[in-house]
Amino acid sequence: MSKIPDKPQDVFVPLTEDYKKVFGKDLISLILYGSAAGGSYVKGKSDINLLIIVTPEAINKLENALDTVKHWQKRSLAVPLIMTKAFMESSLDSYPIEFLNMKNNHILIYGENVLEQLKFKPEDLRLQIERELKGKLILLRNGYLEAAGNARQLKQLISRSFTAFISIFNALLYLKQAPVPQKRRDTIKEVAKLFAIDVEVFLRCVDIKEGMDKLSGEGVADIFKKYLHEVEKICNIVDGI
């Protein structure tokens, strides 16, 4: 058996069996979320992320899951998020973007679909969008200075940051009660319909993220400066919402 699954669904049955052995009746939900659940899984590159909901009794016995987590890490599954239902529900005001993205891209593997009925307060979502955008803008500016014009480093900065911006864009669409697509290029186009952003800059960033660009060093520097400008523009837009 291959260590890295060809598709996430290949591991659903043994994964469920293993975590049922660990938690028994205390296992409430086993949920795949993220890109692997949204049809963007690439073998060997995409993370396979799991949300595991357990009872309050089981959350204090995480040592029982150590061997199982280690076993599935060897098959390229990320360390799962394990929490209680009460903790998740009480955290929606603090982490609305994270839970919204789980809700938008998930597959129920076992048990209760605890994500399906989640609702988010617009004011909580807007506040986290602003905080995340401004934090990312600061990090990008610092990274730009550290890179000192190095094209490879600038590409890495774009690639590392871009997934977070897609999550933020999805949250913006939800906030404006607009459709939330699964594919990132479609997400960018939907955001561009609502806000005055340069769609081509962000599509170029997708190319860099996916290794499809053929930019020169000067071209990368130019895109990065435009990227910074557009992120700052979105910050100002969110301030006005």
pLDDT tier, 170 (very low <50, low <70, confident <90, very high otherwise): very high
State pLDDT tens for residues 60-114.
Answer: 999 999 999 999 998 889 999 999 999 999 999 999 999 999 998 899 999 999 9
Residues belonging to the chain? 241
Residue 32 near residue 107 (C-beta atoms within 8 A): yes
Q: What is the mean pLDDT of the chain?
A: 92
Give the CA angle between residues 133, 232, 146 to the nearest 5°: 85
Cα dist from 169 to 99, 130, 148, 198, whole Å: 14, 11, 28, 14
Per-residue pLDDT, averaged over 170-190, amounts to: 91
Domain residue spans of the chain: 8-111, 122-239
pLDDT given for residue 40 in this prediction:
66
Residues 131 and 208: their CA atoms lie apart, in Å, by: 25
**Strand, coil or helix: 82:** strand
- Which one is the CATH code of 8-111: 3.30.460.10, 2.40.50.140, 3.40.1010.20, 3.40.140.10? 3.30.460.10
Where do we find the tokens 């209760």?
Answer: 112
State pLDDT tens for residues 14-35.
Answer: 999 999 999 999 999 999 998 8
pLDDT given for residue 66 in this prediction:
97
Residues 92 and 174: their CA atoms lie apart, in Å, by: 15
